[in-house]
């Protein structure tokens, strides 16, 4: 986690926790904590989408493609979450109701953040995450080349969900408050748990009936993690382009000498 995707090694394990914290509310910290408590791989959306191979990212695209076909969507969701013990972040938060149906024994754990601070962070991400040229810049790198595509699908689905709910306040802090209310209405009361990340291991371990780890609670700055990952992606892609252009230049030089 935290820049390195968790990859399941035991396909028989299944989700024990469905994370209901919205993006940019501490999803990385929660993923790290759950990984420690449950001793297994956690599907943190952003990390998986930027760190896995083409085949895995395309599985999430299959989930979005089946938005109007529930049986196919549930099958795709089961496949993309197979072997994980928990899930946090988008795109998981777009399918909480479906995940509850697929994993009837999983607990839904949510955590909140001040809406104003959240929107300030979200605005910065929106501003820098999807420049129009990004799709063409990343097209040469397996896995990453699908990131702009899946981001487009997530943005589209997010807008559709707000429209379906009749939300008409426009972009802003109200989106987060609306999301919290929807989750509380969607998830059965006996499956919904709320925690504060600042309270550390205790409440979360009590909910999951697990011992408290003998180490500090996992802390990660979502914004910093995203920025570090973005710098890594841009640097590695630039190197790949330099390699391709170098080979092209060498080939052109050779042909010029030959002919």
Q: Are residues 130 and 77 in the same domain?
A: yes
pLDDT digits (tens, 9 = 90+) for 14-49: 999 999 999 889 999 999 999 999 999 999 998 888
Q: Are residues 133 and 238 in the same domain?
A: no
C-beta separation of 32 from 2 below 8 A:
yes
Please report whether residue 86 resides in a domain.
Answer: yes
Q: Are residues 31 and 93 in the same domain?
A: yes
Q: Are residues 112 and 211 in the same domain?
A: yes
Q: Are residues 109 and 173 in the same domain?
A: yes
| Other Cβ atoms within 10 Å of 15 Cβ, number | 26
pLDDT digits (tens, 9 = 90+) for 124-173: 776 666 666 666 666 666 666 667 777 788 888 888 888 888 887 878 88
Nearest to 139 by CA among 125, 149, 151: 149
Write b or e for each residue in 85-100: b if 16 or more Cβ atoms lie within 10 A of its Cβ, otherwise e.
Answer: bbbbbbbbbbbbebbb
pLDDT surpassing 70 at residue 248: no
Please report whether residue 69 resides in a domain.
Answer: yes
Q: Are residues 243 and 136 in the same domain?
A: no
Please report whether residue 245 resides in a domain.
Answer: yes
Spatial neighbors of 90 by CB under 8 A, at least 6 apart, are 22, 23, 45, 46, 154, 158
Q: What is the pLDDT of residue 5?
A: 85
How many domains in the chain?
A: 2
pLDDT surpassing 60 at residue 113: yes
Q: What is the pLDDT of residue 84?
A: 98
Please report whether residue 132 resides in a domain.
Answer: yes
Q: Are residues 31 and 148 in the same domain?
A: yes
Nearest to 97 by CA among 192, 208, 29: 192
Q: What is the pLDDT of residue 53?
A: 86
Q: Are residues 156 and 199 in the same domain?
A: yes
pLDDT surpassing 70 at residue 246: no
Please report whether residue 12 resides in a domain.
Answer: no
| Other Cβ atoms within 10 Å of 181 Cβ, number | 11
Window from 103-112, 117-126, 158-167, 239-248 with minimum mean pLDDT: 239-248
Please report whether residue 47 resides in a domain.
Answer: yes
Please report whether residue 6 resides in a domain.
Answer: no
This prediction has a pTM of 0.83
Q: What is the pLDDT of residue 34?
A: 96
Please report whether residue 98 resides in a domain.
Answer: yes
Q: What is the pLDDT of residue 162?
A: 84
pLDDT digits (tens, 9 = 90+) for 49-97: 888 888 999 999 999 999 999 999 999 999 999 999 999 999 999 999 9
Q: Are residues 236 and 214 in the same domain?
A: no
Q: What is the pLDDT of residue 171?
A: 81
pLDDT surpassing 90 at residue 190: yes
- CATH number where 108 lies: 3.40.50.300
Q: What is the pLDDT of residue 229?
A: 67
Question: Which residue did the predictor score with more confidence, 145 or 104?
Answer: 104
Nearest to 194 by CA among 93, 91, 113: 113
Q: Which domain holds residue 55?
A: 17-220
Q: Are residues 129 and 234 in the same domain?
A: no
Q: Are residues 29 and 81 in the same domain?
A: yes
Q: Are residues 235 and 114 in the same domain?
A: no
Nearest to 10 by CA among 77, 65, 82: 82
Q: What is the pLDDT of residue 227?
A: 66
């Amino acid at each position: 986690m935290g820049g390195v995707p968790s990859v399941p090694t035991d396909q028989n394990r299944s989700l024990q926790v469905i994370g209901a914290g919205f993006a940019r509310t501490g999803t990385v910290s929660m993923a790290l904590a759950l990984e420690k408590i449950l001793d297994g791989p956690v599907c943190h959306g952003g990390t998986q989408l930027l760190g896995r191979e083409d085949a895995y990212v395309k599985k999430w695209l299959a989930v979005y493609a089946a938005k109007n076909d529930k049986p196919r969507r549930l099958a795709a969701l089961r496949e993309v979450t197979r072997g994980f013990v928990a899930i946090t972040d988008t795109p998981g938060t777009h399918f909480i109701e479906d995940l509850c149906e697929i994993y009837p024994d999983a607990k839904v754990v949510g955590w909140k953040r001040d809406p104003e601070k959240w929107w300030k962070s979200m605005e910065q991400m929106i501003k820098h995450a999807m420049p129009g040229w990004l799709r063409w810049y990343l097209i040469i790198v397996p896995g990453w080349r699908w990131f702009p595509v899946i981001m487009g699908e997530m943005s589209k689905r997010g807008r559709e969900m707000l429209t379906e709910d009749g939300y008409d306040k426009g972009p802003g802090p109200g989106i987060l408050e609306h999301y919290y209310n929807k989750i509380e209405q969607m998830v059965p009361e006996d499956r919904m748990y709320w925690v504060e990340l600042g309270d550390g291991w205790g409440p979360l371990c009590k909910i999951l009936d697990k011992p408290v780890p003998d180490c500090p609670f996992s802390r990660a700055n979502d914004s910093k993690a995203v920025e570090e990952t973005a710098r890594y992606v841009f640097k590695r892609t630039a190197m790949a382009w330099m390699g391709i252009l170098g080979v092209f230049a060498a080939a052109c030089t050779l042909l010029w000498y030959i002919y």
